[in-house]
Amino acid sequence: MTQRTIATFMLALGLATLAGCASPTVITLNDGREIQAVDSPKFDKDSGFYEFEQLDGKQTRINKDQVRTVKEL
């Protein structure tokens, strides 16, 4: 019984640590729309696009010319 309790505690601690790593971000476009991302978007210099995951899990790419601001919540 003790091993099961320790394993459960370690699992909960690991999940809490991973949840603390993500910082939600709001991306505001030039046309005024706002898109919420799970984490900060990655910028690909070669293609000129921001790549990120939306809250619903959808992977998205947006051209840097369409982005007005990127702000962490």
- Over residues 6-63, the pLDDT tens digits come to 777 666 666 555 555 668 999 999 999 999 999 999 999 999 999 999 999 999 999 9
Diameter of the chain measured on Cα atoms: 58
- The architecture that CATH gives domain 23-73 is Roll (2.30)
Coil, helix or strand at residue 39: coil
Q: How far apart are CA 52 and CA 12, in angstroms?
A: 27
Per-domain residue ranges of the chain? 23-73
Q: How confident is the model at residue 4 (pLDDT cuts 50, 70, 90)?
A: confident
pTM for the predicted model, two decimal places = 0.68
Of all helices (H) and strands (E), which one includes residue 36? strand 34-37
Q: How far apart are CA 34 and CA 60, in angstroms?
A: 13
Give the single-character DSSP code of 59.
E
